[in-house]
Structure 1
Amino acid sequence: MLLKNQLSIKHIIKKTVCGNEKTLFLMIHGYGSNEKDLFSFQKDIPENFFIISIQGIYSVGTNKYSWYDIDFDNKNQFINIIQAKKTIEEISFFIHEAIEEYKLKNNPVWICGFSQGAILSYAIALKNSDKIKKVIALSGYLENRILPKQINHYSDLEFFISHGKYDPIIPVNWAKKGLKFLKEKKILSFYKEYESGHTLNHLNYQDLINWIKEKHIKNKSKYES
């Protein structure tokens, strides 16, 4: 596990262990964390994913990063919209860059984000819905102000959405609002609330890993047939 600097965003990788599928699985951490956080999932993720976990653009402390500034005291200004939109563009570019750099196949891309990373994942997936087909949004919500103006090609797009019932950072009702949008767009979604705060408990993690494995098997069968 090395921090790679040769592309536009610093990142760590886990190469595919078996097979030649090389499907990109991109991880986007939350505010104040770093690229090692979600990377701990890699031990339970199918081995023919090419896993990349990226490091936030802005430093907020020693080994702590973010993707945009947050005003925790003002829920109406919770997101720095200008920074968030810029970050969406940068991560979207990085996805194309990484596919070329690591010679990944043109398979549907998966993205997984926690909190701030989950908020971005909604917008990044809808912006790149021709390429991204599986989205894992953990303890985040859909923010309308950073979505692309035009959304196309969202057939086969699927979301795994989970949230803690007692989340003090992002209230659970924020997460529920995005479900209406996804339903209107006929985007398939798994949604479940857990007995937790702004974190993943054991059941949440097991449901997540099971969903990844189930969708991976179906996806593999579809593209091999």
Structure 2
Amino acid sequence: MSDLHYIVRTPKIPVEKPSLLILLHGYGSNEQDLFSFAEELPDNLLIVSAQAPLSMGFGGYAWYTINFDDKNGKFSDLKEAKESIDKIAIFIDEIKKKYNTNSDKTFLLGFSQGAILSYSLSFFYPNKIQHVIVLSGYINTELLPEKISTDIKTDYYCSHGSVDQVLPVEWARNSKPFLDKLGFNNVYSEYNVGHGVAPQNFYSFKKWIEERL
């Protein structure tokens, strides 16, 4: 059992085996955050927004701890991060089974910390998800399996704010050459915003999702 708390938007039109979209929020947020997208996304999608397991108090949650010290600056608890990746993988299987979704059409959308884990999960669990939407995230090379499978068929939508003050855009720019080198299908775009999602960005990834349904 993954024991992750979550909220659901069932398809607005009856679908026998719906396509599934899982949402993973960022550091210090909660399952309600990205769920605001749900009403504007395709009616035939089953949308599930998961809440990270680590409480930060005041309604905020994290997938893993980010520590700060004088010598090393900011660094991530990689053990917690990997534990969350494994929990999310189990959670996806549980949701697929519970709602009898189309196993060939699973989308994973993450923002910031949720985006970093979305990348990593797709490498640790090849083809568990077919489509990854990465918003304001990057590939953390410390959160990769020893060998990335060449059989991965997942495709990636990646976007970032060009003036992101939380996660530097330079980190995100490394994603395309990384994925290209592996031969994975991906698109990368930037928007003139900080650490957030511009309206144009939303309509862009919405169209990307619609094209794959």
**TM-score normalised by L of structure 2:** 0.92
1:27 is matched with which residue?
23
Aligned equivalents of 2:176 and 2:68: distance in 1? 24
Question: 1:42-53 maps to which residues of 2 (within 5 A)?
Answer: 42-53=38-49
Matching residue's letter, 2:58 = T
Structure showing the higher helix proportion among its residues: 1
Aligned to 1:222: none
SS of 1:144's partner is coil
**Counterpart in 1 of 2:106?**
109
Query: Any gaps of 5 or more consecutive residues in structure 1?
Result: 1-5, 217-225
1:3 paired residue number: none
Q: Is the 8 A contact 1:21 1:49 kept in 2?
A: no
Which residue identity does 2:197 align to in structure 1? L
Out of 128, 148, 152, the residue aligned to residue 131 of structure 1 is 128
What is the aligned residue count?
210
1:10–1:54: 8 Å Cα contact kept in structure 2? yes
1:196 is matched with 193
Alignment of 1:73-222 (within 5 A): 77-152=74-149, 153-155=151-153, 157-216=154-213
| C-alpha contact 2:161 2:190 (8 A) present in aligned 1 | yes
Is structure 2 residue 90 aligned with structure 1 residue 64? Answer: no
CA change 1:72–1:48 in 2 (3 A) is farther
Give the distance between the partners of 1:199 and 1:106, measured in 2 at CA: 30
2:97 match: secondary structure: helix
- For residues 170-192 of structure 1, what are the alpha-carbon distances to aligned partners after superposition, in whole Å with 9 as ceiling and x for unaligned? 00000111222100111111111
8 Å CA contact 1:21, 1:48 repeated in 2: no
Partner Cα distance (1:199, 1:63) in 2: 19
Structure 2 counterpart of 1:38: 34
CA–CA distance in 2 between the matches of 1:125 and 1:76?
28
- Once residues 71 and 162 of structure 1 are traced to their aligned partners in structure 2, the CA distance between those partners, rounded to angstroms, is 26
Normalised by the length of structure 1, the TM-score is 0.87
Q: What RMSD in Å do the two structures reach over aligned CA positions?
A: 1.8
With over 3 angstroms needed to count, the CA separation of the structure-2 counterparts of 1:171 and 1:208, relative to structure 1, is same
Letter in 2 for 1:192: S
Identity %: 36
